[in-house]
Structure 1
Amino acid sequence: MSSGPAGHVARSTVRPYSETGTHAPLRTFLPTADGISVDSVYEPGAAVYDSSAPSTRHPVFVVAHGFTGDVDRPHVRRVASALARYGAVVTFSFRGHGRSGGHSTVGDREVLDLAAVVEWARSLGHARVVTVGFSMGGSVVLRHAALYEGTVDAVVSVSAPARWYYRGTAPMRRLHWMVTRPEGRLVGRYGFRTRIHRRDWDPVPLSPVEAVPKIAPTPLLIVHGDQDGYFPLDHPRMLAEAAAGHGELWLEHGMGHAEHAADDGLLARIGDWAVARAG
């Protein structure tokens, strides 16, 4: 159960957004290279309403949620609303989450989901694509940028692990129980609306820290809270060290984990950073 850039995503039948003559959101199901249907939503964002600046001049932010999130969760919608001030936004549900098909592989084949969504974002008329991932999604945006060279213009990874199989905190031990035990997967399915694959990774996918050196020269931002209850500060520091001076590291005082802990001020700074770097 391993992912990679092999194969091509089927093209969306939706016309480039600049040709639709509407500012309404678009919602569709995108096919991945391995045949999973991914629930995806495109919103043009406040910036593209200015007729003097067509949508192709603004970036599109592709938001990759954390484990047990989905496109309709309030914390994902809040992130999308904040980034919509800086460009268009695409949100989606990873496989096994929400209305998307398949089963979660907890960061492995999810890179194929992101690849499908990034390709769709470009097909809607945007020349610049910025991926913004949280927790599991933060690891996926790192691996996607490494495996699909040149397909994105900037990468933001928030609260991501540096290495696999980490069990050093109580929340991560609970997560491993949910993923590896039959009773845990039942809790995931019925308690968190997340369907989890029962098989182990084979082979083990490229880890986030191994992916980071392959991202350059694409601009990279690593964001992590000093109160993160899942992954302590050695994780972002490992990622920043692997970037060898290429990426930026923001250690946020008082911040916890992922979308729930990313306040509007942080999201605004991320938007400003992305607009400046993805030009």
Structure 2
Amino acid sequence: MSNGPAGHVAPSMVCPNCETSRRAPMRTFLHTADGVSINSVYEPGPVVYDSSAPPSRDLAFVVAHGFTGDVDRPHVRRVAAALARHAAVVTFSFRGHGASGGRSTVGDREVLDLDAAVAWARELGHTRVATVGFSMGGSVVLRHAALHRGVDAVVSVSSPARWYYRGTAPMRRVHWLVTRPEGRLVGRWGLRTRIHHRDWNPVPLSPTEAAGRIAPTPLLIVHGDRDGYFPLDHPRMLAKAAGDHAELWLEPGMGHAENAAADELLARIGDWVVSRAG
């Protein structure tokens, strides 16, 4: 596989709108604007044999995983497989995760990783791109849409609304993992996640502030009523900031992020994106 000068696969390699385009996934390393290599996978989506089929072949989902995930984790692959029933899917590992380069900044510089993945989807010929993020990735898709624009729909699942939240035991463990040297060692060797030791400077735009800047791009906020990390005031803050252009789904019995997202929910998310993204 040959890469372009920015680390993207050349558009001529894939024809996603062609009925005979190859169906096997493609892998490459993208390169972000600040020079980090990002392990990425492209799945062409469902085979379409006639022109009367629903017009989803020009659409691509770009999936942003949660903290300590990566492109090869089973829960990320399950999300990709579910969304690939609707359209093409780009998945990738955030910096510091899995085989990607760099170190995790826990949602700050990760907007550049997502931007590289969105650009790759465009280079592959997709005229509509929707971002779908989970937990940390849910905050990244909000900030990306606010700061970089260029997407046609945004889905944020299990996202925090504000930074430095420590109100639940799982989030206190996350803060220990990120802020303490021994926690970062656990992240590196136990969770395949290399975490940057520096504090944010400046503090990034908060998810709530970002949600207020996304209009008119369609926005879906999804949150479980049994989320052990972020209680329901988080999605409600995001929805209030986003205003009338956003939809809020509070899912009964759902926990946190990808592992808690049932196949039925992922199918509904896919249907929502297909109907809203242009």
The verdict on how the C-alpha distance between 1:38 and 1:57 changes in structure 2, with shifts beyond 3 A counting, is same
Q: Which amino acid aligns with 1:267?
A: L
Q: 2:193 and 2:122 mapped to 1: Cα distance?
A: 28
Displacement after TM superposition at 1:244 (Å): 1.6
Give TM-score, length-normalised by structure 2: 0.93
Distance 2:240 2:273 in 1: 21
Is 1:28 the equivalent of 2:24? Answer: no
Q: CA deviation at 1:56?
A: 7.3
Match of 1:244 in 2: 243
SS in 2 for 1:205: coil
Deviation at 1:216, TM superposition (A): 0.4
Structure 1 residue 55: Cα displacement = 8.4
SS at 1:218 equivalent: coil
SS at match of 1:203: coil
- SS of the equivalent of 1:236 reads helix
The equivalent of 2:70 in structure 1 is 70
The residue number in structure 1 matching 2:10 is 14
- Size of the aligned set, in residue pairs, is 269
Instruction: Check the 8 A contact 2:41/2:90 in 1, yes or no.
Output: yes
Give the Cα separation in 2 of the matches to 1:229 and 1:38: 29
Task: State the secondary structure of the residue aligned to 1:23.
Answer: coil
Q: Which residue of 2 aligns with 1:152?
A: 151
Root-mean-square deviation (Å): 1.7
Q: CA deviation at 1:10?
A: 2.8
Q: Deviations over 1:73-100 (max 9, x none)?
A: 0000000010011100010000000000
Aligned pairs for 1:90-109 within 5 A: 90-109=90-109
Change (3 A) 1:91 1:13: closer
What secondary structure is seen at the aligned counterpart in 2 of 1:214?
Answer: coil
Corresponding residue for 2:207?
208
Percent of aligned pairs sharing the same letter: 77
Structure 1 CA distance, aligned partners of 2:40 and 2:9?
Answer: 14
Any stretches of 5+ residues in structure 2 without a counterpart? none
Could you tell me which residue of structure 1 aligns to residue 254 of structure 2? 255
Distance change >3 Å, CA 55–CA 25, structure 1 → 2: farther
| 1:121-160 → structure 2 map (5 Å cutoff) | 121-149=121-149, 151-160=150-159
1: CA distance between counterparts of 2:191 and 2:138?
20
Alpha-carbon distance between aligned partners in 2 of 1:190 and 1:54, rounded to the nearest angstrom: 45
Moved over 6 A (4+): none
